[in-house]
C-alpha cells in the first residue's frame, strides 16, 4: 500500500464528542427518548479521527455502528453521559452533539408499572437533567475549545447566542429544525443532510445545506484551525 503522507493536523490532540439521544427510564421496560439518530455526532467523531485526533465518543443508544478509529463509550442516561464525559477530562476540545433528554422521571420503578382497573394512568414527576455542556464549559478542567449544538424551531441566532454565553462555549452550531419531519430522510433528526450556522463571539457564519458528512469534515477542519493557534 502507498504510504499516506498527508498532514494530520490533530495528531496528539484528545477530543471528546457526545452523540445520539439519551434514554431516561420510567420502569425496567419503558423510557423517555427523542428522535436523534447520532448520525451528525458520529460523523464528527470520524472526521476528527481522520485528521489524527485521539477521539473519545460518548454515545447514547443509536442504531448505527461505532466510527472507525474512534474509542466509543456507550451510555444510556444523561447522568451516565455526564459522568463518562467528566471522567475523560482533561481534553484539548469537546464537541457536544448529543440530544440529551432535558428531563427525566424523578423515580424509575423497580418493577414494570401495571395497569390497575379504576386507577388511571401513572403521573410522572419530571425533574431536569444536568447540562453536560454547561458543566464542561465552566469546568476547572475546561478544554481550550468547547463546541455545542443548538436545535431550534424559532429565533435561531438569538437562541444560539444565548446558549453560547450561558454554557461557556466557543462555538454553537445552530440547526433550524422547524421543518423537520423527525424520521424523514431530509430532516435533521433522522436524515443525512444538515443546514447550520456557526455562532461565536465573532459573529454568525451561515453554511450552505450539505450532507452531515460534509458538515462534519468542515467542522473538523475549523476545530483543527482553531486548535493550531492554541498552545497548551
Asked if residue 106 lies in contact with residue 28, where contact means CB atoms within 8 angstroms, the answer is no
Q: Which of 43, 45, 47, 133 is close enough to bind ligand CTP by CB under 6 A?
A: 133
Q: Does the footprint of ligand CTP cover residue 129 (CB under 6 A)?
A: yes
User: Interface residues for ligand CTP in 1-30 (CB under 6 A)?
Assistant: 18
C-alpha Rg value of the chain to the nearest Å = 19
Q: How many C-beta atoms lie closer than 10 Å to residue 65's C-beta?
A: 8
Residue (155 or 225) nearer to ligand CTP, CB: 155
CA distances from 14 to 17, 48, 66, 95, 210 (A): 10, 10, 18, 11, 27
Nearest to 43 by CA among 228, 223, 172, 211: 211
Residue (153 or 186) nearer to ligand CTP, CB: 153
In this chain, which stretch among 105-113, 130-138, 182-190, 211-219 interacts with ligand CTP, using CB under 6 A? 130-138
On the question of a cis peptide bond just before residue 88, with omega within 30 degrees of 0, the verdict is no
Count of residues engaged in binding ligand CTP, rule: CB under 6 A? 15
Partner touching 163 among ligand CTP, Ca ion, none, CB below 5 to 8 Å by kind: ligand CTP
Show the site string, 164-203: x = touches ligand CTP by CB under 6 A, - = not.
----------------------------------------
Q: Which grid coordinates are listed for 120?
A: 388511571
Show the site string, 70-109: x = touches Ca ion by CB under 5 A, - = not.
--------------------------------x-------
Does 167 count as an annotated binding residue? yes
CB of 140 to ligand CTP, least distance (A): 18
With 0-12 / 13-18 / 19 or more C-beta atoms within 10 angstroms meaning exposed / middle / buried, residue 232 is exposed
Residues marked active site are found at 34
Amino acid at each position: 500500500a502507498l504510504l499516506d503522507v498527508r498532514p494530520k493536523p490533530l495528531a496528539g490532540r484528545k477530543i471528546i464528542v457526545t452523540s445520539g439521544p439519551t434514554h431516561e427510564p420510567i420502569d425496567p421496560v419503558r423510557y423517555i427518548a427523542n428522535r436523534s439518530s447520532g448520525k451528525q455526532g458520529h460523523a464528527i467523531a470520524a472526521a476528527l479521527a481522520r485528521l489524527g485526533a485521539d477521539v473519545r465518543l460518548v454515545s447514547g443508544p443509536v442504531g448505527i455502528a461505532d466510527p472507525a478509529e474512534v474509542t466509543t463509550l456507550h451510555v444510556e442516561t444523561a447522568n451516565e453521559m455526564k459522568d463518562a464525559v467528566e471522567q475523560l477530562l482533561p481534553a484539548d476540545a469537546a464537541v457536544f452533539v448529543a440530544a440529551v433528554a432535558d428531563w427525566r422521571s424523578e423515580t424509575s420503578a423497580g418493577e414494570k408499572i401495571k395497569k390497575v382497573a379504576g386507577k388511571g394512568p401513572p403521573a410522572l414527576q419530571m425533574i431536569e437533567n444536568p447540562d453536560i455542556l454547561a458543566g464542561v464549559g465552566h469546568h476547572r478542567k475546561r478544554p481550550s475549545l468547547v463546541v455545542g449544538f443548538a436545535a431550534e424551531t424559532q429565533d435561531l441566532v438569538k437562541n444560539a447566542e444565548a446558549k453560547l454565553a450561558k454554557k461557556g462555549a466557543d462555538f454553537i452550531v445552530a440547526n433550524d429544525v422547524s421543518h423537520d419531519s423527525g424520521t424523514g430522510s431530509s430532516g435533521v433528526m433522522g436524515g443525512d443532510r444538515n443546514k447550520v450556522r456557526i455562532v461565536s463571539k465573532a459573529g454568525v457564519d451561515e453554511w450552505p445545506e450539505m450532507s452531515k458528512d460534509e458538515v462534519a469534515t468542515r467542522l473538523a477542519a475549523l476545530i483543527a484551525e482553531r486548535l493550531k493557534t492554541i498552545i497548551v
